[in-house]
Every structure is written in structure tokens, then in C-alpha cells.
Amino acid sequence: MITVTDLYKKFNGTPVLKGISATFEKGETSMIIGTSGSGKTVFLKCLLGLHLPEEGTISFDGRIHSNLSIKQHRQLRQEIGMVFQGGALYDSLTVEENVMFPLKMFTNNTYTEMLKRVNFVLNRVNLYDANKKFPAQLSGGMQKRVAIARAIVMNPKYLFCDEPNSGLDPVTATVIDNLIKEITSEYQITTVINSHDMNSVMEIGEKIIFLQNGVKAWEGSNKEIFKTENEAIVNFVYSSNLFKKVREAYLNEIK
């Protein structure tokens, strides 16, 4: 579980995050949404330790991030998996080498042990016989699955995803959504996803936090988001005519 309390972050004196508090539970997919400039990317980077907040605390299962020693920071980093927006795979490395990279960096396992783990996670994300291929030989969806395999190869407690469906077609995006949710539930990972994809929000958003101008403007589930009267989130989530009709149909059905 990750607990955030009264988080404040400024850049050049300008407030970006303004007293955000939130709790992210293990085994749950949590979505951070908001317009450009809302602070969601800065918030994610604070959770990852890439930005240090001026005020507030971030706790990983009781361990307050700012109070950790260098050794404890290193241990925490090994418990975190990250899926980057563009995948961030090494073009010159094969799929197998990309996924094995964290194991080489942070473990003393033998090559046989590492290869066994690599094969396990590749099979888990439904990538068979892709070990010796290079990223350029894979589709966008397959590259994202390699990125997810690399993110979970260290068996992390915490998984962060930045726009995991960016650049994917709707069918492939749904596959990636379901894969992330399955892995989160199966391994009881605390998963936090930055997303602007409303299909993902509606599909796997067990907890949704809506940021607006650096403030947490709304919090709820993908079921509660249909019923909210919060004007800001209604205008954001249901900006398209299609989603407006979906919401209207849902509200009419539950009357």
C-alpha cells in the first residue's frame, strides 16, 4: 500500500501539487487522470522519487520515502516496476536481454536462474518464442508486453504505468488493460496508472483520482464515475458525445 499525505510540489515558486492526499491499495488498479497541466505526471514522478516534494509524505507500506537511507532507497527501488509511455526498450538488446536487464543490475542470480525467470514472465504476458527478437521486429502491443514483463521480472510490490496504451489500437489497448489488471490481482501488486484513455478508466479503474490544477478534485471507482455530479469530472470524462450517451443510458437504467 502507498499512502500520500498533504503533498505539495513547486517549480520556480509556482505550485504544481497543492496538498494531495491519497491511498493506493495492493491488488488494486488505481488511475490518475486529468487534463494537461493538471499535475498528474509530476504526481507520478513524486511517487517514483524523481521529484522531491516541498511538503507532505509518501509512505510505502509504512516506510516514509524521505526518511529512508541510501541502502533503504536502493531496496525500495528493487520493489518498484515501471512501464514507460513509449516502452523504453533498448533497441540493441533482444527481448530476452531487455527483460533480463534488471536482474543483471540488482541480483546475483546465475544466468540459468535469470533465464528461467525471464521465460516465466514472458510466458505470463503471452509472448512465446520472442526471446531472440529485437524490439523493431515486434508490433506496438508486443513491445508493451515486453515492457510489462521487464517491469514485473523483479516481482515488484509496486507497479507504475505512464500512459501504457499510448499509440495502441483499441483492441490491443484492451488486451494491455486486462493484462495489467490480471497481474495486479494475481500478484497483489499496488498499481498506479497515469492515463488519458477513458476506455481504460472505465474498464479497469478500481480507484480513480481526478486532478485539476494540482488539486485532487474527485476520487471514486469506475462505477461511481457514472453517477458523479462533479461538474469538472463530468466535463472531462464525458466530453465526447459517445460517452455522454453511455452515461445517460446508465443513469436511465438505474432509475
CA distances from 7 to 1, 3, 146, 178 (A): 17, 11, 33, 31
* The pLDDT of residue 56: 95
Boundaries of every domain in the chain: 2-89+158-224
Strand ranges across the sheet with 2-11: 14-24, 2-11, 55-60, 63-64
Give the chain's radius of gyration (CA, Å): 19
H or E element at residue 205: none
* The pLDDT of residue 201: 85
List, in sequence order, every beta strand (DSSP E) within 25-157: 28-33, 55-60, 63-64, 80-83
* The pLDDT of residue 178: 92
For residue 171, give every residue at least 6 positions away whose Cβ sits within 8 Å of its Cβ, in sequence order, or none.
Answer: none
Q: Which CATH number describes the domain made up of 2-89+158-224?
A: 3.40.50.300
Report the predicted TM-score, pTM, of the whole model to 2 decimal places.
Answer: 0.90
Q: Report the distance separating Cα 199 and Cα 73, nearest Å.
A: 35
Q: What is the mean pLDDT of each run of 10 residues along the chain (255 residues)?
A: 96 93 96 90 92 94 90 91 89 96 93 96 92 94 94 96 88 91 95 89 90 93 84 78 68 66
